[in-house]
C-alpha cells in the first residue's frame, strides 16, 4: 500500500469515462466542482453539467426532476451540506420517488481536517441508510471507488456515495472484484474479525499486522456497501472467529457498527467492540492528528481487538 489517491479524485476520473458511455448522464454541483472533481466532466461535457451555486436544496430538487425525466444524475457537494442542509429534499424528492440520483458527496468525516467541525460530518451514513430504498456506498480506496461508482450509475434508483478529501492508500488491484452489496474479505484470520469501511480498511490492514506480531490472527472484511449490507459474510465471520471489531470514520451511533451489530445480534451474537467517532464534534486540525485524537487509527483498532481477546 504505497500509492495514495483520494476517492474524490477517482470520482472525477470515472465521471469522464461514464460521460462518454452514457449520453443521458447529467452531473450537477453546488459551486464546489474544483473540490468535488466534477470540473473535468464540466470541461468535456458542458451541456450536461450544471453548477447550481451554493443552494443545496435546489441542487437535489432539480436533480430529482431531471432523473424523473429519464436522466441519470450524479449530484455532488460536500457530505455535510448534502446530507445535512438538503436532507429533507433528498428524503422526499429523491428517496420517496425512487429518483435515479447518485448523491456523490465528498469531504466526509474528520479527514476534512482544517475546515473544522462545521464541515466534518459523522452523521451522513446514519441519515442516508435510514431513507427507505437508498443504497449507501463508502469506498475504501480509489480502485473500489471507480468500480462502485460505475455500478451505482448502472443501477436504477437512489444511491449515496461517500467520498473523502484526503489521499488514502490504494490496495485493491484493477483485477479485484468489488461488487455492490457484497463485502470483501481482505485478509483471512481465525481469532477475531475486523469489519471496516472507507478509509478505515487500510487502517485495519495495518492493525492486523501489529496484531499478528502479538500472536493474534485477525480477519479483515471491507464492507463498502453499508446498505444493503452483506449479512452472509458477517454471519460467517461471527460464527468462525467469535469476536468482531468494527471500524469507521463516522459516528459509532447509526453507522457501520450499528448495522453490523443488528446482523450479529439477530443471527449469531458475539462480543463486539466499536472504533469510530464518539458522541462529540470534531475540530480544525491536520487529518492524521485528528484521527489520532478522536480514536480512529490502526492503534485504536488494535486496542479494541485486545479488549475482546
CATH number of the domain where residue 107 is located:
3.40.50.970
According to the model, what pLDDT value does residue 128 have?
Answer: 98
Q: Tell me what the mean pLDDT of segment 47-73 comes to.
A: 97
Catalytic status, residue 20:
no
Helix (H, G, I), strand (E, B) or coil at 90: helix
Residue 2 has pLDDT above 80, yes or no: no
According to the model, what pLDDT value does residue 105 have?
Answer: 97
179 lies in some domain: no
According to the model, what pLDDT value does residue 195 have?
Answer: 98
According to the model, what pLDDT value does residue 249 have?
Answer: 97
According to the model, what pLDDT value does residue 36 have?
Answer: 95
* 227 and 285 co-located in one domain: yes
What is the CATH number for 280?
3.40.50.920
According to the model, what pLDDT value does residue 278 have?
Answer: 96
Say how many domains are in the chain.
2
CA distance 46 to 56: 20
175 lies in some domain: no
**In percent, how much of the chain has pLDDT > 90?**
97
Tell me the pLDDT tens digit for each residue of 118-175. Answer: 999 999 999 999 999 999 999 999 999 999 999 999 999 999 999 999 999 999 999 9
According to the model, what pLDDT value does residue 6 have?
Answer: 94
For the chain, how far is it from start to end, CA to CA, in angstroms?
Answer: 27
CA distance 120 to 111: 8
Question: What grid cell was written down for 5?
Answer: 489517491
According to the model, what pLDDT value does residue 172 have?
Answer: 95
What global pTM score does this model have? 0.95
Number of neighbours of residue 67 by Cβ within 10 angstroms: 24
Angle of helix 231-241 versus helix 256-267 axis, rounded to 10: 70
According to the model, what pLDDT value does residue 79 have?
Answer: 97
CA distance 63 to 26: 9
Q: Is the backbone of residue 98 left (phi > 0), alpha (psi -120 to 50) or beta? A: left
Catalytic residue among 56, 123, 248, 249: 56
* 88 and 120 co-located in one domain: yes
Tell me the pLDDT tens digit for each residue of 17-27. Answer: 999 999 999 99
How many residues are there in the chain?
309
* 190 and 164 co-located in one domain: no
Residue range of the domain that includes 204: 184-308
Angle of helix 298-308 versus helix 200-213 axis, rounded to 10: 60
* 36 and 84 co-located in one domain: yes
According to the model, what pLDDT value does residue 27 have?
Answer: 98
51 lies in some domain: yes
Mean pLDDT value across the chain: 96
Tell me the pLDDT tens digit for each residue of 214-263. Answer: 999 999 999 999 999 999 999 999 999 999 999 999 999 999 999 999 99
According to the model, what pLDDT value does residue 98 have?
Answer: 98
Residue 187 has pLDDT above 60, yes or no: yes
Residue that finishes a domain, picked among 169, 194, 217 = 169
- The DSSP bridge partners found for residue 104 are 161
* 284 and 161 co-located in one domain: no
Q: Tell me what the mean pLDDT of segment 259-280 comes to.
A: 98
Q: What angle do CA 192, 198, 200 make, to 5 degrees?
A: 50
* 102 and 189 co-located in one domain: no
Amino acid at each position: 500500500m504505497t500509492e495514495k489517491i483520494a476517492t474524490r479524485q477517482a470520482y472525477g476520473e470515472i465521471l469522464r469515462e461514464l460521460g462518454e458511455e452514457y449520453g443521458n448522464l447529467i452531473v450537477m454541483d453546488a459551486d464546489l466542482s474544483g473540490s468535488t472533481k466534477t470540473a473535468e466532466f464540466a470541461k468535456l461535457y458542458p451541456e450536461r453539467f450544471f453548477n447550481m451555486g451554493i443552494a443545496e436544496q435546489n441542487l437535489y430538487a432539480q436533480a430529482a426532476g431531471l432523473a424523473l425525466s429519464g436522466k441519470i444524475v450524479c449530484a455532488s457537494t460536500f457530505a455535510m451540506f448534502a446530507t445535512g442542509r438538503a436532507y429533507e429534499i433528498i428524503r422526499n424528492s429523491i428517496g420517496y420517488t425512487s429518483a435515479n440520483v447518485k448523491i456523490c458527496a465528498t469531504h466526509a468525516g474528520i479527514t476534512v481536517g482544517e475546515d473544522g467541525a462545521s464541515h466534518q460530518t459523522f452523521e451522513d451514513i446514519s441519515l442516508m441508510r435510514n431513507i427507505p430504498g437508498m443504497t449507501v456506498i463508502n469506498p475504501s480506496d480509489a480502485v473500489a471507488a471507480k468500480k462502485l461508482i460505475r455500478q451505482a450509475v448502472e443501477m436504477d434508483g437512489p444511491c449515496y456515495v461517500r467520498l473523502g478529501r484526503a489521499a488514502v492508500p490504494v490496495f485493491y488491484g484493477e483485477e479485484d472484484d468489488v461488487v455492490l452489496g457484497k463485502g470483501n474479505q481482505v485478509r483471512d484470520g481465525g481469532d477475531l474479525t475486523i469489519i471496516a469501511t472507507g478509509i478505515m480498511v487500510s487502517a485495519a490492514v495495518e492493525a492486523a499486522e501489529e496484531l499478528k506480531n502479538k500472536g493474534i490472527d485477525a480477519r479483515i472484511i471491507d464492507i463498502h456497501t453499508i446498505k444493503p449490507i452483506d449479512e452472509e459474510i458477517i454471519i460467517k465471520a461471527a460464527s468462525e472467529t467469535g469476536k468482531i471489531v468494527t471500524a469507521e470514520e463516522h459516528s459509532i451511533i447509526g453507522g457501520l457498527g450499528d448495522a453490523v451489530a443488528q446482523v450479529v445480534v439477530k443471527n449469531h451474537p458475539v462480543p463486539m467492540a466499536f472504533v469510530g467517532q464518539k458522541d462529540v464534534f470534531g475540530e480544525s486540525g491536520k487529518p492524521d492528528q485528528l484521527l489520532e485524537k478522536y480514536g480512529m487509527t490502526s492503534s485504536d483498532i488494535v486496542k479494541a481487538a485486545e479488549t475482546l481477546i
